[in-house]
């Protein structure tokens, strides 16, 4: 049942014309990486375009589609009227959304690594960070999709808050998902104030635990909330 | 053979002049968005930097002697940096749905069955989008300027008036060009959320392309024309940091806005003809 | 007969708006029409029945279970929503097959069951197998929606406004299908605001308005309970005055009016009055050419109940 639901999500939410825009941006990012060779580093480009923009946006698109697309389209009622446990519906679709976000993130990471000549250890760290980051961001947007009708607006505002938090001094930036992803990937922050040196970044293990706790907590909350979910027709 | 007798009477009252009909669209859009609770939440968030800055300004002035704090801080350039970030999000959501919403609900064809031409429609939508943009750029900045004038003894009325002019010009340029661009994207027929993503992507990627070209072609400032983010920051530098060499950014920003408006006008004419 | 759906003081609020107010009703096997104007609370009632929503207060049991709590039990009903929502790029066959699989069918069985059900709703194979749903007419879309509700052969079929937007041919086909379902032993609850359409399918109704249960039963039963409005009977006869003179003496007759084509009488006891008309016509030799009751139909009953 779970695999069937995940495949159905892939067909109805991912393999659509509208995903072409996301695909174009992903391709453009890799293309830019090849043109940027010699002018920037792997870490810089990853921070500016992948962890700073593409990864959260891809997760926003596919994470918010997990429930919100069917809710707005009115097709969620067909699922909820079937003998499908709510958690199976939610978790299988979330899993597929996270896989799609990971695949896109890893494609960009690999493209950037090849274009900018990243070392094996840099690529390994970035791969792990992007995979975990894709999962964490997807969980964030799935939960937003269950909580808010205007998921995209809430998502844009959350991305803005994540970006703003990511620029806080004195380790305050580690209140953002982005800072933990960049910390795991071994990417330097965009600025290095004295205050930043006084509060060194947490260890990689701490960042992994922080991202996993966030994802797990959000999914537990989303599942609990979704079990109490009521469907009153299309909201689109 | 049938004889048809007209038993109805046409509207005989005063007709508003055709040129002012864009106001109907403008006001309807503003009413719709101002009634949205998300807009109110958004406005609250967007007002925060200005409120915090005005509060900080007041406290620093009041306790200047005790703290010895310097007040030659580039208030408006920092404030506009924040407000332009909010502007980006605002256009990505509220601006993005302006035309695409009408296309999806088929309201566009309803508009063009009325004596409203593409120019009137464009003016209504552009006016509404600009009004929203000015609400989060011009008004908060004016608030800070007024607080600054009222607490800073050394600030002359002339300097205050100059600040007001700079705030107005900077806000108008940003509101005009960003509104024209988002409306053009909104007329592509994509759903509002994808218009929003394309808009944000255009910001980020155009800046990235400019950055790469900047590094690889001898650091020419002429490349600023490629990036809307760079034109906006150049405009802030020109008005608030005395960077007279950034006049080109200001002129380009307005020029790009005018060009986008023209393209949008042509595109809307296409819709108008298709419906007629 | 066993009760399929029982509700007791069932209420549902949306914030401060009450959609369903204190509804106590029992629905037994067969076809039942759920009738009411737009906004009466029909869709809310049906969503509660299939567990898409929870009641704010009151009790609801469907096929012996509390709908919103029991997932496995959902195999036993099929739901056709009011809204016209699909995955537009699927064919009708793919759509119905998908939801058969989500009801637990194995892949091959799901495809066969989907094709069989689409045939049953009278959708042509060339349409359901090859065309995307976005190319379907309104009537075809309604049939696909009904098919996905029937594909797993449920005991209870809940159809929310299945006739809306369908052309006359599709309406006829859907009506025939509903009758067929009733004959096959399914319990069918079908909602509509077009009363005469549902009258072709069943004689058992539940009438609701503004969230309140107005009446339940057959048209005759409901009509008999409305004391406030006398029952009208129109008669065509060559001698209206002669027949009227005899009818006014009958205790069951409240009033008699002579019209251009005959006469109209009002009674508070329809069955007794019909018997009296037959008897008097026989005794007097005045022929009765036509006898109709303009308010012995669902429209009139509903009008009386909602407008007082």
Which residue, among C160, C206, C283, C195, has the nearest Cα to C7 in the 3D structure? C206
- Which chains lie within 8 Å of chain B at 3 or more CB pairs, if any? A
Cα end-to-end span (Å), chain A: 27
- Other C-beta atoms within 10 Å of B12: how many? 6
**Cα angle B31-B32-B34, degrees, rounded to a multiple of 5:** 65
Structural domain includes residue B12: no
- Residues of B numbered 10-49 whose beta carbons fall under 8 angstroms of chain A's beta carbons: which are they? 38, 42, 45
**Cα angle A210-A214-A217, degrees, rounded to a multiple of 5:** 135
pLDDT per residue, tens digit, chain A (236 aa), is 788 999 999 888 888 777 888 899 999 999 999 988 888 889 988 988 899 889 999 999 999 889 988 888 889 889 988 889 999 999 999 999 999 999 999 999 999 999 998 899 999 999 999 999 999 999 999 999 998 888 888 888 888 888 888 777 767 778 889 989 999 998 877 665 555 565 677 888 999 999 999 999 999 999 999 988 888 765 54
Four-point Cα dihedral A31, A34, A40, A42, nearest 10 = 90
Q: Residues B261-266: what's their mean pLDDT?
A: 95
State the Cα–Cα distance between residues B202 and B91, nearest whole angstrom: 12
Residue C249, pLDDT above cutoff 80: yes
Q: Quick check: B160 and B239 in contact, CB under 8 A?
A: no
Residue B69, pLDDT above cutoff 80: no
Please give the pLDDT value at position B141. 93
Please give the pLDDT value at position C83. 86
Please give the pLDDT value at position C281. 86
Q: Which residues pair with C28 in a beta bridge?
A: C3
Instruction: For B161-170, write each residue's pLDDT tens digit.
Output: 998 999 999 9
Instruction: For C166-177, write each residue's pLDDT tens digit.
Output: 888 888 899 999
Residue B144 is encoded by which pair of tokens?
Answer: 């800070």
A136 to chain B, any CB pair closer than 8 A? The answer is: no
Q: How confident is the model at residue B66 (pLDDT cuts 50, 70, 90)?
A: low
Structural domain includes residue B7: no
**Cα angle A178-A149-C162, degrees, rounded to a multiple of 5:** 140
Cβ neighbours for C156, distance < 8 A, ≥ 6 positions apart: C4, C5, C62, C63, C76, C77, C78, C186, C187, C188, C189
ipTM: 0.81
- Other C-beta atoms within 10 Å of C11: how many? 18
Which residue, among C104, C128, C106, has the nearest Cα to C116 in the 3D structure? C128
Task: For residue C195, give Cα distances in angstroms to A190, C175, C191, C208.
Answer: 69, 13, 10, 12
Please give the pLDDT value at position C157. 94
Name the more confident of C301 and B249: B249
**Residue B38 domain boundaries:** 18-275
Instruction: For C34-77, write each residue's pLDDT tens digit.
Output: 988 888 899 999 999 998 899 999 999 998 888 888 888 888 88
Please give the pLDDT value at position B21. 85
Q: Which sign does the torsion angle of CA B245, B251, B254, B258 carry?
A: negative
State the Cα–Cα distance between residues C187 and C50, nearest whole angstrom: 13
Structural domain includes residue B192: yes
Helix C107-120 and helix C138-150: axis angle, to 10°? 130
B196 to chain A, any CB pair closer than 8 A? The answer is: yes
- Judging contacts by C-beta atoms under 8 Å, the chain A residues touching residue C74 are 81-83
User: Strands C187-192 and C156-160, how do they pair?
Assistant: parallel
Burial class (CB in 10 A: 0-12, 13-18, 19+), B222: exposed
A1 to chain C, any CB pair closer than 8 A? The answer is: yes
Q: Quick check: A7 and A93 in contact, CB under 8 A?
A: no
**Percent of chain A with pLDDT strictly greater than 70:** 93
Residue C229, pLDDT above cutoff 80: no
Task: For residue B220, give Cα distances in angstroms to A36, A39, B212, B229, B236.
Answer: 16, 15, 11, 16, 19
Residue C80, pLDDT above cutoff 90: yes
Structural domain includes residue B4: no
Is the pTM higher than 0.90? The answer reads no
- Judging contacts by C-beta atoms under 8 Å, the chain A residues touching residue C83 are 74, 77, 233-234
Total count of domains within chain B: 1
Structural domain includes residue B5: no
Structural domain includes residue B79: yes
Which of A25, A39, A157 minimises the CB distance to B212?
A: A39
State the Cα–Cα distance between residues B35 and B93, nearest whole angstrom: 15
Structural domain includes residue B177: yes
A35 to chain B, any CB pair closer than 8 A? The answer is: yes
Q: Residues C140-148: what's their mean pLDDT?
A: 93
Structural domain includes residue B10: no
């Amino acid at each position: 049942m779970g695999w069937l639901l995940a495949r159905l999500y892939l067909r109805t939410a991912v393999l659509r014309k509208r995903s072409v825009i996301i695909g174009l941006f992903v391709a453009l990012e890799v293309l830019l990486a090849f043109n940027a060779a010699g002018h920037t580093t792997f870490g810089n480009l990853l921070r500016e375009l992948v962890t700073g923009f593409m990864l959260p946006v891809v997760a926003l698109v596919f994470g918010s589609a997990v429930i919100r697309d069917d809710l707005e389209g009115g097709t969620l009622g067909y699922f909820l009227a079937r003998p499908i446990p709510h958690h199976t519906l939610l978790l299988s679709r979330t899993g597929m959304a996270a896989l799609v976000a990971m695949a896109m993130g890893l494609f960009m990471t690999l493209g950037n690594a090849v274009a900018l000549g990243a070392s094996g250890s840099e690529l390994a760290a970035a791969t792990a960070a992007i995979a975990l980051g894709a999962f964490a961001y997807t969980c964030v947007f799935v939960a937003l999709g269950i909580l808010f009708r205007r998921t995209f607006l809430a998502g844009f505002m959350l991305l803005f808050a994540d970006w703003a938090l990511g620029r806080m001094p004195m380790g305050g930036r580690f209140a953002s998902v982005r800072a933990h992803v960049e910390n795991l990937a071994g990417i330097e922050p965009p600025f290095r104030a004295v205050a930043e040196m006084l509060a060194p970044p947490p260890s990689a293990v701490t960042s992994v635990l922080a991202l996993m706790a966030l994802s797990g907590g959000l999914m537990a909350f989303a599942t609990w909330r979704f079990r109490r979910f009521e469907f009153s027709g299309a909201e689109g | 053979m049938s004889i048809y007798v007209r038993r109805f009477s046409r509207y005989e009252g005063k007709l508003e002049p055709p040129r002012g009909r864009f106001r109907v669209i403008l006001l309807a859009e503003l009413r719709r968005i101002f009634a949205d609770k998300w807009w109110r939440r958004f406005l609250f968030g967007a007002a925060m930097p200005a409120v915090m800055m005005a509060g900080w300004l007041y406290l620093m002035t009041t306790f200047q002697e005790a703290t010895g704090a310097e007040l030659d801080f580039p208030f408006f350039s920092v404030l506009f940096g924040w407000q332009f970030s909010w502007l980006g999000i605002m256009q990505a959501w509220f601006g993005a749905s302006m035309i695409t919403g009408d296309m999806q609900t088929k309201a566009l064809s309803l508009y063009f069955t009325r004596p409203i031409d593409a120019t009137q429609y464009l003016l209504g939508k552009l006016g509404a989008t600009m009004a929203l943009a000015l609400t989060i750029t011009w008004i908060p900045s004016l608030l800070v300027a007024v607080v600054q004038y009222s607490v800073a003894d050394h600030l002359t009325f002339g300097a205050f008036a100059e600040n007001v002019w700079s705030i107005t010009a900077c806000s108008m340029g940003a509101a005009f060009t960003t509104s024209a661009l988002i409306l053009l994207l909104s007329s592509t027929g994509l759903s509002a959320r994808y218009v929003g993503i394309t808009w944000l992507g255009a910001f980020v990627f155009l800046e990235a392309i400019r950055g790469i070209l900047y590094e690889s072609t001898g650091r020419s400032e002429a490349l600023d024309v490629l990036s809307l983010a760079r034109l906006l920051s150049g405009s802030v530098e020109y008005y608030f940091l005395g960077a007279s060499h950034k006049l080109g950014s200001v002129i380009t920003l307005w020029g790009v806005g005018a060009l986008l408006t023209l393209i949008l006008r042509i595109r809307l004419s296409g819709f108008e003809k298709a419906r007629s | 007969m066993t009760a399929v759906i029982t509700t007791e003081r069932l209420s549902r609020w949306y914030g401060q708006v009450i959609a369903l107010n204190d509804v106590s009703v029992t629905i037994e096997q067969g076809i039942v029409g759920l009738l009411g104007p737009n906004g009466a609370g029909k869709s809310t009632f049906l969503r509660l029945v299939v567990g898409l929503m929870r009641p704010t207060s009151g009790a609801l049991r469907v096929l012996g279970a509390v709908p919103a709590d029991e997932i496995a039990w959902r195999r036993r009903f099929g739901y056709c929503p009011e809204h016209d929502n699909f995955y537009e790029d699927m064919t009708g066959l793919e759509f119905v097959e998908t939801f058969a699989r989500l009801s637990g069918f194995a892949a091959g069985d799901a495809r066969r069951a989907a094709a069989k059900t689409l045939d049953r709703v009278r959708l042509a194979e060339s349409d359901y197998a090859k065309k995307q749903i976005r190319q379907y007419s309104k009537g075809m879309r309604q049939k696909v929606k009904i098919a996905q509700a029937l594909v797993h052969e449920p005991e209870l079929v809940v159809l929310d406004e299945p006739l809306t937007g369908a052309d006359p041919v599709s309406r006829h086909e859907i009506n025939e299908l509903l009758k067929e379902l009733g004959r096959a032993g399914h319990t069918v609850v079908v909602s509509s605001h077009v009363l005469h359409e549902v009258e072709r399918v069943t004689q058992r109704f539940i009438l609701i308005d503004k969230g309140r249960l107005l009446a339940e039963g057959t048209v005759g039963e409901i009509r008999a309970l409305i004391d406030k409005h006398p029952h009208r009977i129109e008669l065509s006869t060559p001698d209206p005055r002669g027949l009227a003179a005899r009818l006014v003496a009958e205790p069951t007759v409240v009033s008699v009016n002579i019209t251009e084509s005959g006469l109209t009488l009002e009674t508070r006891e329809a069955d007794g009055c019909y018997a009296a008309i037959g008897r008097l016509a026989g005794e007097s030799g005045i022929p009765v050419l036509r006898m109709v009751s303009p308010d012995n139909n669902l429209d009139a009953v509903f009008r009386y109940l909602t407008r007082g």
